[in-house]
């Protein structure tokens, strides 16, 4: 339970249209955050889980291969929170240039998320966390997709609000600060975001995420940008060497609690409950990612051994082929031919031998222009595929 703290968090200011907009107080909260035993315990657990995650990723033979898939999983989950329908498999198929007229039309939003994430991580090498960086990332996120008319890369100059789809501002669940108050609040947010005081980093990140969502500085894309900032901050502070902590899975699983905790900060000043919710998410997601990294290592070693035992003199090409699957888990014969610099016949023969080992799966059912998928790897990241695989195994057992 959170300690009960009497705290004002901002002011409701009546606007010319008759509605009231909320202008939050500056960070850090006053009175200061209360660190009870539960808070200390959650903070300690989250710190330890992050440390284990960072160590497990650094121990991978090639951490970037793990990051490649994790980034795509986060892009899908974070975008789904905002209403997109495209799946993890849809994104992998698009990147493999597989055409499907039945695919949801909002895949571009997820591809933009991936682009914005990668761009932001690159820019962090030369630009500190700042409002400028946030605007640049938003420009990438919203380019040429739904919301592209909502001034990509620019903070809003008109009022927005949070409510049911199609609702009017008078029916809004929450109305963020008016544009006239936004600039000063954003400047103070930037100052707090990069401050070097004694507030624990994970608490600072939790405070910043809630404040950013309350300011809602863009006309669209605020949730996705706010979630990206969590990982960017941890990477810039070198808490993580690779961008592998993404809370969208946790937020999506606990969507009602996520929104309720944020709203309680605004209405009741209950920062403690929000921070505890956030820390639980950090620990849970870090532990899940650490476990996934362990499974990737075990799976890779198993598949390498099976290839060596089965392919004999052809094992060298088989191992090179296996490594390529971690960045291209859906592939064709021509992809393998180009990667290994061998003939199409040689590539086809290699794939057929690996198919017998059940390491990859043919997914078209065709004799020509076949496509294949590295299902064991994809299943480690895709909840939908993993659940489908469980259902298939259960069905076979029952049958």
Q: By the 8 A CB rule, do 75 and 113 touch?
A: yes
Q: By the 8 A CB rule, do 194 and 128 touch?
A: yes
pTM of the model: 0.89
pLDDT of residue 316: 93
Distance between CA atoms of residues 318 and 144, nearest Å: 40
Q: What is the mean predicted confidence (pLDDT) over 373-383?
A: 88
pLDDT of residue 388: 41
- Burial pattern 187-205, b for ≥16 Cβ within 10 A else e, equals ebbbebbeeeeebbebbbb
Residue 31 has pLDDT above 80, yes or no: yes
205-214, pLDDT tens digit by residue?
999 999 999 9
Residue 321 has pLDDT above 50, yes or no: yes
CATH code, residues 13-291:
1.10.3290.10
| Kind plus residue range of the DSSP H or E element containing 29 | none
Dmax over CA atoms of the chain, in Å, equals 78
Distance between CA atoms of residues 57 and 309, nearest Å: 28
Distance between CA atoms of residues 233 and 278, nearest Å: 15
Distance between CA atoms of residues 56 and 295, nearest Å: 11
Give bridge partners of residue 372 from the DSSP assignment. Answer: 331, 362
Residue 79 has pLDDT above 90, yes or no: no
CB atoms within 10 A of CB 277: 21
Residue 83 has pLDDT above 50, yes or no: yes
- Of the pLDDT bands very low, low, confident and very high (cuts 50, 70, 90), residue 94 is confident
Q: What is the mean predicted confidence (pLDDT) over 175-190?
A: 96
The residues, ordered by sequence, that sit 6+ positions from 265 with a Cβ below 8 Å of its Cβ are 9, 210, 214, 271, 274
CB atoms within 10 A of CB 66: 23
Q: Phi and psi dihedrals of 98, rounded to 5?
A: -95, 120
Here the tokens at position 397 are 């057992």
Q: What is the mean predicted confidence (pLDDT) over 135-148?
A: 85
> Domain 294-398 belongs to what topology?
Arc Repressor Mutant, subunit A (1.10.10)
Residue 399 has pLDDT above 70, yes or no: no
Evaluate the omega torsion of the peptide bond into residue 265 and state whether it is cis, within 30 degrees of 0.
Answer: no
Pairing between strand 10-14 and 330-332?
unpaired
pLDDT of residue 396: 30
Q: By the 8 A CB rule, do 224 and 138 touch?
A: no
pLDDT of residue 211: 98
Q: What is the mean predicted confidence (pLDDT) over 319-325?
A: 93
Residue 338 has pLDDT above 90, yes or no: yes
Q: Which part of the chain is CATH 1.10.3290.10?
A: 13-291
Q: By the 8 A CB rule, do 100 and 363 touch?
A: no
- Of the pLDDT bands very low, low, confident and very high (cuts 50, 70, 90), residue 147 is low
- Of the pLDDT bands very low, low, confident and very high (cuts 50, 70, 90), residue 149 is low
354-367, pLDDT tens digit by residue?
999 999 999 988 77
pLDDT of residue 390: 41
pLDDT of residue 365: 83
Name the one residue in this structure whose structure tokens are 């990667």: 339
The mean-pLDDT minimum among 271-275, 347-351, 394-398 falls in 394-398
Distance between CA atoms of residues 349 and 333, nearest Å: 9
- Burial pattern 240-249, b for ≥16 Cβ within 10 A else e, equals bebbbbbbbb
Distance between CA atoms of residues 47 and 240, nearest Å: 11
The residues, ordered by sequence, that sit 6+ positions from 114 with a Cβ below 8 Å of its Cβ are 71, 72, 75, 91
Residue 175 has pLDDT above 90, yes or no: yes
The mean-pLDDT minimum among 82-96, 127-141, 237-251, 310-324 falls in 82-96
Distance between CA atoms of residues 319 and 275, nearest Å: 45
Ramachandran assignment for 63, one of left (phi > 0), alpha (psi -120 to 50 degrees), beta (any other): alpha
Q: What sign results for the dihedral spanned by CA atoms 236, 238, 244, 249?
A: negative
pLDDT of residue 383: 64
Q: What is the mean predicted confidence (pLDDT) over 63-79?
A: 86
What is residue 285's DSSP assignment? H
Q: Pick from 331, 336, 329: which is nearest to 382 by CA? A: 329
């Amino acid at each position: 339970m959170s300690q009960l703290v009497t705290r004002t968090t901002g002011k409701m200011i009546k606007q010319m249209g008759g509605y009231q907009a909320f202008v939050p107080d500056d960070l850090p909260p006053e009175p200061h955050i209360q660190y009870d035993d539960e808070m200390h315990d959650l903070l300690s657990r989250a710190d330890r889980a992050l440390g284990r995650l960072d160590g497990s990723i650094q121990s991978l033979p090639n951490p970037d291969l793990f990051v490649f898939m994790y980034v795509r999983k986060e892009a899908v989950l974070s975008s789904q929170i905002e209403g997109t329908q495209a799946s993890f498999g849809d994104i992998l198929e698009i990147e493999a240039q597989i055409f499907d007229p039945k695919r949801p039309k909002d895949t571009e939003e997820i591809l933009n998320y991936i682009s914005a994430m990668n761009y932001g991580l690159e820019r962090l090498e030369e630009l500190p966390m700042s409002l400028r960086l946030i605007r640049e990332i938003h420009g990438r996120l919203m380019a040429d997709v739904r919301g592209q008319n909502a001034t990509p890369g620019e903070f809003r100059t008109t009022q927005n609000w949070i409510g049911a789809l199609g609702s009017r501002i008078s029916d809004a669940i929450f109305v963020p600060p008016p544009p006239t108050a936004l600039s000063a609040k954003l400047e103070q947010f930037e100052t707090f975001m990069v401050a070097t005081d004694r507030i624990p980093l994970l608490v600072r990140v939790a405070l910043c995420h809630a404040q950013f969502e309350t300011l809602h500085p863009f006309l669209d894309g605020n949730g996705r940008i706010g979630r990206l900032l969590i990982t960017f901050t941890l990477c810039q502070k070198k808490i993580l060497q690779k961008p592998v902590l993404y809370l969208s899975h946790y937020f999506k699983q606990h969507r009602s609690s996520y929104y309720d905790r944020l709203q309680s900060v605004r209405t009741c000043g209950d920062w403690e409950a929000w921070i505890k919710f956030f820390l639980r998410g950090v620990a849970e997601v870090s532990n899940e990612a650490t476990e996934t990294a362990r499974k990737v290592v075990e799976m890779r070693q198993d598949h390498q051994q099976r290839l060596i035992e089965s392919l004999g003199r052809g094992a060298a090409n088989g191992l090179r082929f296996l490594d390529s699957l971690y960045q291209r888990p859906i592939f064709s014969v021509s992809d393998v031919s180009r990667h290994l610099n061998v003939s199409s016949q040689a590539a086809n023969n290699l794939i057929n031998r690996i198919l017998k080992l059940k390491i990859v799966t043919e997914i078209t059912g065709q004799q020509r222009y076949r496509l294949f998928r590295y299902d064991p790897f994809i299943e480690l990241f895709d909840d939908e595929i993993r659940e489908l695989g469980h259902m298939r195994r259960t069905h076979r057992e029952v049958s």
